[in-house]
């Protein structure tokens, strides 16, 4: 058997714990003691992004139906889910005045100043161009 040590730059160096999690099967990854917490492994990225968009739109619609505010924290990064969501929202004429969105991420400098929206790498800009303005 080939034995090796964990790389020195890795802060978590518990070899036994790493070996234990390496042996978790795909089936076991989806098990959780809380029945309300459902885990699914999706192999098709397009399906994942579509399901994400559908969940977001459903939450917006449920809040509208219940006449309550809808507050969401949305991740930035790969953005296909927002293209799907925009198509659904626009095609259905979904009311959006009750929606309040917080972006999960943004670049910041060493002093904590976040990137300006006009900077090409800004997540705020990416969300504006790929979701909010559409």
Query: What pLDDT was estimated at residue 64?
Result: 96
Render pLDDT for 9-42 as a digit per residue (tens, 0 to 9): 989 999 999 999 999 999 999 999 999 998 999 9
**Angstrom distances, CA of residue 26 to CA of 33, 36, 37, 41, 43:** 16, 20, 17, 8, 12
| Domains assigned to the chain | 44-132 (3.40.50.1360)
CA distance to 4, 21, 108, per residue, from 7 (Å)? 9, 17, 29
pTM surpassing 0.85? no
Quickly tell me which residue has 């969940």 as its tokens. 55
Token pair, residue 1, equals 């058997």
Q: What is the pLDDT of residue 33?
A: 92
Return the closest-CA partner of residue 103 out of 81, 75, 84: 75
């Amino acid at each position: 058997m080939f034995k090796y040590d964990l790389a020195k730059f890795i802060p978590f160096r518990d070899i036994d714990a790493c070996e234990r999690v390496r042996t978790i099967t795909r089936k076991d990854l989806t098990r959780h003691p809380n029945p309300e917490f459902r885990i699914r492994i999706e192999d098709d990225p397009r399906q994942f992004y579509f399901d994400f968009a559908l969940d977001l739109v459903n939450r917006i619609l449920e809040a509208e139906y219940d006449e309550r505010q809808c507050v969401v924290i949305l991740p930035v990064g790969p953005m296909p889910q927002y293209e799907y969501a925009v198509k659904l929202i626009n095609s259905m004429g979904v009311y959006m005045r009750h929606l309040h969105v917080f972006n999960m991420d943004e670049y910041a400098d060493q002093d904590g100043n976040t990137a300006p929206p006009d900077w090409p790498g800004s997540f705020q800009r990416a969300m504006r161009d790929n979701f909010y303005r559409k």
